Amino acid sequence: MFFQGMLYFDHAATTPVHPEVVKAMLPYFEQIYGNPSGVHRLARQSRQVLEESRERVASCLNVRPEQVVFTSGGTEAANLAIFGLAYRGRHIITTRVEHLAVLQPARELERRGYDVTYLAVDKNGRVHPDQVASCLRYDTALVSVMLANNEVGTLQPVAEIARRCREKEVLLHTDAVQGVGTLDCDFESLGVQALSLSAHKLYGPKGVGALVVAPDLELSPRLLGGGQEGGRRSGTENLAGIVGLARALELALADRVERAARLEKLSEKLYDYLLAIPGVHRTGHPTERHPAIVSVAVEGVAGEALLMELDQAQVAASTGSACSTATLEPSHVLRAMGVPLTRAHGSLRFSLGRSSTEADIMKVARVTRLAVERLRELAPADLRGT
């Protein structure tokens, strides 16, 4: 089924594949299908395309081709960074607001006997570089701090944290899955030693991403097999996906600055409308924020109920909190930020994209106001939080 007329405000979850990307990928399903590890000419042709794509991705991020390790997406890239670099010590530092693609590997390392420091964040969701510096130890293997939070959009001071880590010769990985394509993700200027990215967040295909690492950085591989990707990630390469990633990155960077400015304006407008609804509060940093993510908490209503109302009105959004239905616990991000429970349950995330217009913003704001009013009328007085 094709949902025509839906206003899509969930670009932080995933994006549609750009038509140019689809076009670039098509030949690699039926025509150029050789296995890049083979010897014959079809295989060599695929190998050449693979290496050209690596060069294109590398040039977008200002690194050398051999620094790019293709993976099956952001989750695998973050896992490879954390497990692949943990051998360097016994201690890991990360933050309480990371995506589970980072937090779960950190928890697994804890189970295996590592010490893990989970840095607290302030009420806007930010860590301070001093906090990181004060936790660095002689046996710290790795620090992992995300560039932009997927739920509330808060940006972390990654370049400054990288400077502090370099002073102590500790490696820094950044989960830049929400940043690449919209924020400046020049590897050199960020000063990190590992960066994760994912194609489906930037109008590329799902199931492909990359871990970018500092030159000559030794990674302990997670997937063992045929030794592809310089032995760092075995498995026959997803050639069509990788071509799609390269094209998506190029397209994203071609208009990145203007697009980010347009999205920032639109999202500010949406914030203005939403914050004018009584009992609606901003979650996330007011200025150090992802230009396309609008994150609010609504008092007295459940995020899931709001989403259903929005869905009925043809608006696709998401609840940053993803309350687990079994426990009705708000998300770890909102809890780490100290958002009161009465608000955290009503968390709502709108993420804008290329297709978003000013008219859409107005419609979404209107529909949200109506949904909030309706649900508050339905809710028993003791749940209204007033």
Contact positions vs ligand PLP (CB under 6 A): 73-75, 78, 99, 101, 146, 150, 175, 177-178, 198, 200, 209
DSSP states along 288-331: SB-TTEEEEEETTS-HHHHHHHHHHTTEE-B-TT--BTTTTBPP
Give the tokens for residue 336: 């780490």
Q: Check if the beta carbon of residue 115 is closer than 8 Å to that of residue 129.
A: no
Residues in the chain, overall count: 386
- The CA radius of gyration of the chain, in Å to the nearest whole number, is 21
Integer Cα distance of 183 and 187 in angstroms: 12
Integer Cα distance of 287 and 145 in angstroms: 19
As measured in angstroms, the least distance from the Cβ of 126 to ligand PLP is: 15
Question: Looking at beta carbons, which residue is closest to ligand PLP?
Answer: 74
Integer Cα distance of 254 and 251 in angstroms: 5
As measured in angstroms, the least distance from the Cβ of 386 to ligand PLP is: 33
Q: Is 165 a catalytic residue?
A: no
As measured in angstroms, the least distance from the Cβ of 40 to ligand PLP is: 33
Q: Is the dihedral of CA 88, 90, 94, 100 positive or negative?
A: positive
Closer residue to ligand PLP (CB): 76 or 309: 76
As measured in angstroms, the least distance from the Cβ of 127 to ligand PLP is: 15
Which active-site residues does the annotation give? 323
